[in-house]
Amino acid sequence: MKTPEPESALSEPLEAGLYIVATPIGNLGDITVRAVDILRRCEVIACEDTRVTGKLLKHCGVSTRMQRYDDHASDKQRAMLLDMARSRPVALVSDAGTPLVSDPGYRLVREAREAGISVTSIPGACAAIAGLTLAGLPNDRFLFAGFLPVKEKARCDVLNELGGVDATLIFYETGPRLERSLRAIAELWPEREVAVARELTKLHEECRTGRAQELAEWYAEHSPKGEIVLLVGPPSDAPPTGDPEALLREALSEMSASKAAGKVAKATGMDRQTLYARAVELKSQ
Ligand code: SAM
In CATH, the architecture of 128-237 is 2-Layer Sandwich (3.30)
Domain boundaries, the chain: 17-125, 128-237, 244-284
CA torsion sign, 168 to 172 to 175 to 176? negative
Q: Any idea which of 19-23, 58-62, 138-142, 237-241 has the lowest mean pLDDT?
A: 237-241
C-alpha of residue 161 to centroid of ligand 1, in Å: 23
Atom of ligand 1 nearest to the CA of 174: 14
- Which residue out of 229, 230, 231 has the highest number of ligand 1 atoms within 8 Å of its CB and is therefore the one to mutate? 229
pLDDT category of residue 284 using cuts at 50, 70 and 90: confident
Residue 6: CB atoms within 10 A of its CB come to: 7
CA-proximal residue: ligand 1, atom 8 (nearest): 102
What residue ranges in the chain does DSSP mark as E strands? 17-21, 44-47, 65-68, 89-92, 119-122, 142-147, 168-174, 193-198, 206-211, 227-232
- Rounded mean pLDDT of 260-285? 80
| CB burial readout 16-39, b (16+ within 10 A) else e | bbbbbbbbbbbeeebbbebbbbbb
Atom of ligand 1 nearest to the CA of 97: 4
Helix, strand, coil shares of the chain, percent, nearest 5, are 45, 20, 35
Q: Any idea which of 36-50, 64-78, 107-121, 140-154 has the lowest mean pLDDT?
A: 64-78
pLDDT category of residue 254 using cuts at 50, 70 and 90: confident
**Spatial CB neighbours of 151, under 8 Å, sequence gap ≥ 6:** none
C-alpha of residue 122 to centroid of ligand 1, in Å: 18
CATH of 17-125, one of 3.40.1010.10, 3.40.50.1100, 3.40.50.2300, 3.30.300.30: 3.40.1010.10
pLDDT category of residue 6 using cuts at 50, 70 and 90: very low
C-alpha of residue 45 to centroid of ligand 1, in Å: 20
Mean pLDDT of the chain: 92
- Rounded mean pLDDT of 51-69? 97
Q: What is the pLDDT of residue 221?
A: 96
pLDDT category of residue 255 using cuts at 50, 70 and 90: confident
C-alpha of residue 213 to centroid of ligand 1, in Å: 24
Whole-angstrom distance, CA of residue 92 vs CA of residue 67 = 10
C-alpha of residue 30 to centroid of ligand 1, in Å: 14
Using one digit for the tens of pLDDT, what is the confidence trace for 77-95?
999 999 999 999 999 999 9
CA torsion sign, 9 to 13 to 18 to 21? positive
pLDDT category of residue 42 using cuts at 50, 70 and 90: very high
pLDDT category of residue 7 using cuts at 50, 70 and 90: very low
Q: What is the pLDDT of residue 242?
A: 64
pLDDT category of residue 172 using cuts at 50, 70 and 90: very high
Phi/psi at 220 (5° precision): -70, -30
DSSP string, 62-112: ---EEEE--TTS-HHHHHHHHHHHHHSEEEE--SSBSTTSSSS-HHHHHHH
Length of the chain: 285
Residue 228: CB atoms within 10 A of its CB come to: 22
Residue % of the chain over a pLDDT of 70: 93
pLDDT category of residue 174 using cuts at 50, 70 and 90: very high
C-alpha of residue 172 to centroid of ligand 1, in Å: 7
pTM for the structure as a whole: 0.83
Q: Do domains 17-125 and 128-237 have the same CATH topology?
A: no
Pocket of ligand 1 (CB under 6 A): 25-26, 94, 96-98, 101-103, 126-128, 172-174, 197-202, 227-229
Residue 271: CB atoms within 10 A of its CB come to: 12
**Spatial CB neighbours of 109, under 8 Å, sequence gap ≥ 6:** 18, 20, 92, 100, 119
Res. 150: pLDDT tops 80: yes
C-alpha of residue 262 to centroid of ligand 1, in Å: 33
Helix (H, G, I), strand (E, B), or coil: what is residue 25?
A: coil
The answer to whether residues 169 and 142 touch, using CB atoms and an 8 Å cutoff, is yes
- Which residue out of 20, 23, 25 has the highest number of ligand 1 atoms within 8 Å of its CB and is therefore the one to mutate? 25
Q: CB-hemisphere CA count at 13 Å for 55?
A: 12
